[in-house]
């Protein structure tokens, strides 16, 4: 028989019907791998394992590890599990004021003593990385969920919401967190490569067929574009029922000067009709219509103030057409002055050529 075996309980004491197995399956009633068998209740740090503070502990308690004094608040009990005095984990039960209790879990890397990693407080809140969880699940640090749980908020079920950190959607790239909803077709993704947030419209039920609808990067908002170059950058048409208002308050302006040579600038511009070439940049949402406009590269030498070069791979150029209005206004006024002068000269010539009476 193997030494240091112990059986505790009325059924085991001097009872020939209960024998240890010497090897697996030899007919003994007690498994040959067992070194300690207990029938009944075990108390560690207590002489009454069936009763606790205030008589709360039930009579079916099998193992009690109590570190406090019965009838008094405070005290902890610790269960260490591991290989030696450095490589172990601990489960700690703590009795705090007001008869409250919590459960703490300690682990160690082996280089240091175990430290608390998780606890369940008296309210049932679970804290990971925090000793004071304020929610049913309170995580202090980053999280990773590989499955897609159902989330409920305020009694309203948000069935279909998922949280992940992988290669979906394809445009996001590997190891970037995202949140999505199967049924509404809405997805959010934090893009680590650009430090921004992306919004996708899914094609339910095939969630891999997602379309980027909005992108926020470095304070710029892009709609239909992955690389917004302006505070609001729209890859497509924009409509509204009211006018777009530009700030024009005198109090916010300095170096105010009249526009000179406006007419000669306008005369140097060449208005054109055109259609968009979709092959130049397939990512742009260009229509098939015929348009009126200018060529930015032709306008820039004449009026560089109205031309902007984007910070994209193509260094795309655009024109602020609204800023052409003051130039056109002054050109018209300048031209009208010339017309008025000509009218006056003509009137004088007519007067001079009139026969004398």
pLDDT digits (tens, 9 = 90+) for 285-305: 899 999 999 999 999 999 999
Range of weakest confidence among 117-126, 188-197, 270-279: 188-197
Q: What average pLDDT does range 315-327 have in this prediction? A: 95
List beta partners, residue 45: none
DSSP of 121-140:
-TTS-EEES-SS--SSEEES
Query: Tell me, what's the pLDDT at 336?
Result: 96
Question: In angstroms, rounded to a whole number, what is the distance separating the alpha carbons of residues 4 and 19?
Answer: 15
Of 184 and 228, which is predicted with more confidence? 228
326, two tokens = 């003051």
Q: Which two tokens stand for residue 77?
A: 């009990």
Q: Is there a contact between 188 and 201 (Cβ–Cβ < 8 Å)?
A: no
Helix (H) or strand (E) holding 223: strand 220-223
pLDDT digits (tens, 9 = 90+) for 49-95: 555 444 444 555 556 666 555 555 667 888 888 766 667 888 998 88
Interval 241-263 mean pLDDT: 91
Contact 67, 76 (CB under 8 A): yes
Query: How many Å apart are CA 308 and CA 306, to the nearest integer?
Result: 7
Backbone angles phi, psi at 45, to 5 degrees: 85, 10
Top pLDDT among 295 and 172 is at: 295
Give the distance from CA 72 to its chain's centroid: 47
Q: What is the mean pLDDT of residues 144-162?
A: 49
CB 71 within 8 A of CB 46: no
Identify the residue with better confidence: 301 or 17: 301
In this structure, are residues 223 and 213 in contact, taking their beta carbons and an 8 Å threshold? Answer: yes
Computed over every residue of the chain, the mean pLDDT equals: 76
Paired tokens of 39: 């029938």
Q: Which two tokens stand for residue 159?
A: 């069935």
Average pLDDT over residues 237-260: 89
Question: Cα separation of 223 and 212, whole Å?
Answer: 8
**Mean pLDDT (whole number) for 277-284:** 90
């Amino acid at each position: 028989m193997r030494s240091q075996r112990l059986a505790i309980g009325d059924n085991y004491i001097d009872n020939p019907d209960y024998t240890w197995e010497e090897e697996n399956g030899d007919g003994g009633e007690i498994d040959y791998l067992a070194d300690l068998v207990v029938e009944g209740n075990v108390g560690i740090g207590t002489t009454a394992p069936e009763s606790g503070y205030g008589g709360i502990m039930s009579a079916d308690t099998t193992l009690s590890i109590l570190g406090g004094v019965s009838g008094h608040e405070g005290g902890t009990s610790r269960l260490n599990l591991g290989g030696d005095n450095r490589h172990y984990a601990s489960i700690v039960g703590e009795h705090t004021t007001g008869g409250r209790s919590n459960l703490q879990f300690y682990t160690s890397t082996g280089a240091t003593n175990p430290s608390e990693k998780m606890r369940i407080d008296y309210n049932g809140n679970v804290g990971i990385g925090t000793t004071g969880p304020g929610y049913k699940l309170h995580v202090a640090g980053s999280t990773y969920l590989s499955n897609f749980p159902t989330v409920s908020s305020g009694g309203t079920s948000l069935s279909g919401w998922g949280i992940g950190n992988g290669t979906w959607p394809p445009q996001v790239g590997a190891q970037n967190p995202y949140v999505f909803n199967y049924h509404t077709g809405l997805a959010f993704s934090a893009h680590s490569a650009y430090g921004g947030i992306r919004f996708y419209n899914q094609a339910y039920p095939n969630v891999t067929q997602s379309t980027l609808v909005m992108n926020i990067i470095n304070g710029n908002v892009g709609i239909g574009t992955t690389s917004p170059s302006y505070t609001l950058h729209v890859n497509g048409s924009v409509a509204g029922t009211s006018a777009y208002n530009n700030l024009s308050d005198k109090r916010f302006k300095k170096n105010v000067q009249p526009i000179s040579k406006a007419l000669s600038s306008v005369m140097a511009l060449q208005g054109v009709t055109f259609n968009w070439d979709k092959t130049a940049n397939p990512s742009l949402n260009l229509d098939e219509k015929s348009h009126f406009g200018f060529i930015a590269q032709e306008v820039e030498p004449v009026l560089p103030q109205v031309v902007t070069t984007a910070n994209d791979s193509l260094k795309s150029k655009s024109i602020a057409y609204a800023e052409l209005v003051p130039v056109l206004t002054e050109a018209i006024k300048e031209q009208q002055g010339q017309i008025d002068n000509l009218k006056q000269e003509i009137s004088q010539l007519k007067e001079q050529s009139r026969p004398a009476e």
